């Protein structure tokens, strides 16, 4: 269908061209006039062109000036990049710290060593204890001295001055502390049943660290109940006794009375 239409259009155009050529050959006068008109039209057309050129130049100049203005405006508008001002910190000199050595650990747990006092130290201790003893307001009761002499006999003379002073000063306190423990524990049950009473003498070595040794009954009450009970009492009561400065032999009475 498209091809048919194209063929039709081409045939029409050819017919029109042929018709125009035929008219020109028959009418030469008409053709000259037409040519003159065309020339005039061409001249006028050339004149118009001369007039149009400066207008185009003006327009181009205006466009260029506008572009320059926009460029200058853009240049003016361009903001300079703001520099980030970094505040400088004050420089401080680093002081080198001296290494301090940690103090060495001291072991306070030391082995106990029993030092034997020299003769000079013994004399000074004896003099001090004697001075303390003599400076007391209440002197030792004569009954106490007689009781000590009766219990120890000649052995008491072999003791040092320190031992003698310690025994004389604390003789009554040993007996009082022991009797206090007896009342706390109570009277022996067998002695209560048989209504028994009596007295015995106990002897032992008392050391400065608070220990005792060689605990025994030197003078029996005559009843086994009391003798065994006395050993039991001393094993409890000695912890409350005043301690000596040197190992001392203690000897005192333990009284049993049933009221």
The model's pTM is 0.48
Q: How confident is the model at residue 12 (pLDDT cuts 50, 70, 90)?
A: confident
In this prediction, residue 134 carries a pLDDT of 45
State the pLDDT at residue 87: 60
**pLDDT of 19 above 90:** no
Give pLDDT tens digits for 101-153: 655 665 555 555 556 667 666 666 666 655 555 445 456 788 999 999 999 99
pLDDT band at 43 (very low <50, low <70, confident <90, very high): very low
Which is more confidently placed, 12 or 207? Answer: 207
- Report which of 143, 129, 133 is spatially closest to residue 245, judged by C-alpha positions: 129
**Position 258 confidence tier, pLDDT thresholds 50, 70, 90:** confident
Lowest mean pLDDT among 30-39, 45-54, 109-118, 122-131: 45-54
Residue 14 token pair: 């050819």
Task: Read off the pLDDT of residues 168-208 as tens digits, 9 standing for 90 and up.
Answer: 999 999 999 999 999 999 999 999 999 999 999 999 999 99
Q: Give the residue with greater pLDDT, 7 vs 23.
A: 7
- Which of 134, 219, 128 has the alpha carbon at shortest distance from 169? 134
User: Rounded to an integer, what distance in angstroms lies between the CA atom of residue 242 and that of residue 171?
Assistant: 10
Q: What percent of the chain stands above pLDDT 90?
A: 44
173 versus 69: which is more confidently predicted? 173
> Where is 61: in which H helix or E strand?
helix 28-77
- pLDDT band of residue 33 (cuts 50, 70, 90) is low
pLDDT of residue 98: 56
CA distance 21 to 25: 6
pLDDT at 152: 95
For range 23-52, the mean pLDDT: 51
3-state SS string for 148-173 = HHHHHHHHHHHCCHHHHHHHHHHHHH
pLDDT per residue as tens digits for the range 219-243: 999 999 999 999 999 999 999 999 9
Q: How many CB atoms sit inside 10 A of residue 143's CB?
A: 9
pLDDT of residue 52: 46
Average pLDDT taken over every residue of the chain? 75
């Amino acid at each position: 269908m498209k091809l048919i239409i194209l063929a039709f259009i081409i045939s029409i155009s050819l017919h029109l061209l042929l018709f125009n050529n035929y008219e020109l050959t028959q009418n030469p006068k008409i053709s000259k006039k037409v040519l003159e008109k065309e020339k005039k039209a061409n001249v006028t057309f050339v004149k118009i062109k001369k007039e149009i050129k400066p207008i185009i130049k003006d327009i181009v100049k205006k466009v260029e000036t506008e572009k320059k203005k926009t460029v200058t405006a853009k240049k003016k508008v361009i903001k300079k990049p703001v520099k980030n001002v970094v505040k400088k910190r004050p420089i401080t000199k680093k002081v080198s710290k001296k290494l301090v050595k940690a103090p060495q650990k001291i072991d306070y747990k030391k082995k106990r060593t029993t030092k034997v006092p020299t003769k000079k130290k013994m004399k000074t201790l004896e003099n001090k204890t004697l001075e303390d003893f003599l400076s007391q307001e209440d002197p030792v009761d004569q009954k106490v001295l007689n009781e000590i002499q009766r219990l120890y006999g000649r052995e008491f003379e072999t003791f040092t001055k320190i031992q003698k002073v310690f025994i004389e000063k604390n003789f009554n306190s040993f007996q009082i502390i022991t009797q206090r423990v007896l009342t706390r524990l109570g009277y022996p049950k067998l002695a209560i049943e048989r209504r028994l009473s009596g007295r015995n003498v106990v002897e032992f070595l008392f050391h400065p660290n608070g220990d005792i040794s060689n605990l025994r009954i030197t003078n029996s009450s005559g009843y086994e109940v009391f003798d065994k009970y006395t050993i039991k009492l001393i094993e409890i009561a000695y912890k409350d006794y005043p301690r000596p400065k040197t190992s001392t032999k203690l000897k005192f009475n333990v009284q049993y009375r049933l009221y």
